[in-house]
A = this chain, B = another copy of it.
Amino acid sequence: MTVTTPRGFRASGVAAGLKTSGGADVAIVVNDGPDATVAGVFTGNRVKAAPVMWSQQVLKGGVVRAVVLNSGGANACTGTQGFRDTHATAEHAAAVLRGGPKPLLVGAGDIAVCSTGLIGEMLPMGKLLPGVTAAVKALNTDGGARAAEAIMTTDTVAKNAVVQGDGWSVGGMAKGAGMLAPALATMLVVLTTDAVAGSEALDTALREATRLTFDRIDADGCMSTNDTVLLLASGASDVQPTQEELTAAVTALCHDLAQQLIDDAEGATKHIAIEVLGAASEADAVEVGRTVARNNLVKTALFGNDPNWGRILAAVGTTQAAFAPDRIDVAVNGVWVCRGGSAADDRSKVDLAGKDVTITVHLHEGEMSATIWTTDLSHAYVHENSAYSS
């Protein structure tokens, strides 16, 4: 159940020596069509890696035939030479794909590129290009799982998912195991579908899906230089779902992958949902949820199994959302430890022994709500991020 589950796609993952571990580090996903429509969402960071700048240009053409991905190097903050390296990667991939056993009529402009790894160092092109050649040779209609492995960095498991439609499906893979707040270690996501869908329909579906999923695993303000989400459609099912069906399937798929990212977040011991109810607007609900999710004092308290609602209220107090301090209720795992801005049920009743934690903040200002997912702040987080250069 991977990116090669929908018909019309081949994929592969090979070891090219970019990772010191010797693991797979170059992946390719090819869309054999008949269609090659595409949509993409890229990092909001103003410091963009070379592959992001390249792929944004490619997507303007509305056609993507293949995606080349590498771990072991982000190709970010690498100047004009970095951009030339990305361009060379796409040119090389196009040439090999044109000359392969199943020749594809593609140019570099049809090929998106994604990279992840250390920022600020040049990619070892002498290893990468032969890796691309090998990856093209290894392309297979069941190669999705290998591709998902090749994009892992500090991830401990590969992330794959599929959502079935009526005669069509959407498949996807993701990487990104960084602590999801405040920084989402580079998130790369490739989604594939055999539905018949124009680029505009794909774009509508993808934007709605990311808004409700990847954008709510506390990320936006602190995206990495390389974050990329691509959705490719082959049309191989000959089925054209409605916009509503397409959006629902892509959203469900992104939700699944986003929860897998949270579950595998670096050094996390908790999977935390921050549910904001009774907000005057959805924007208020999201702002409150994000602010609580990013508060290091809240995150360390949860690591310590402490249902510290005072820190939650103090975090809410720093937002611009509509609220009155003496009307806020807060529950931790269903126990309303704070009502009307003051202590309520006994905090000792809160059971924080498990991995899953739900914090509910009720603002009593309106009918809008939103949920933000995040993790705790643990010793392991400090260890991984002080020892690993990225």
Contact = CB atoms under 8 A, between A and B. Distances in A.
Interface of A: 44-48, 74, 76-79, 82, 118-121, 178-179, 182-183, 221-225, 294-297, 300-301, 303-304, 306, 308-311, 313-319, 323, 325-326, 338, 340-343, 377-379, 381-383, 385-387, 389-390
Number of copies: 2
Given A385-B300, A390-B297, A77 B313 contact: yes
A308 B294 CA distance: 22
Contacts of A343: 77-78, 120-121
Contact of A183 (B45, B296, B319, B340): B296
A294 B378 contact: no
Contacts of A338: 77, 120
Most buried by B among A45, A47, A317, A319: A47
A319 B41 CA distance: 19
A319 B44 CA distance: 10
14 contacts: A45-B314, A46-B317, A46-B319, A48-B317, A77-B338, A79-B326, A119-B311, A182-B297, A222-B318, A225-B314, A297-B390, A300-B386, A378-B382, A379-B383
A93 B220 CA distance: 49
B310 A120 contact: yes
Contact of A119 (B44, B120, B313, B326): B313
B325 A382 contact: no
Given A301-B386, A310-B76, A46 B182 contact: no
Given A120-B310, A310-B120, A77 B382 contact: no
Pairs A-B, 4 closest by C-beta atoms: A119-B310, A304-B386, A47-B317, A300-B385
Contacts of A325: 46-48, 77
Contacts of A182: 294-297
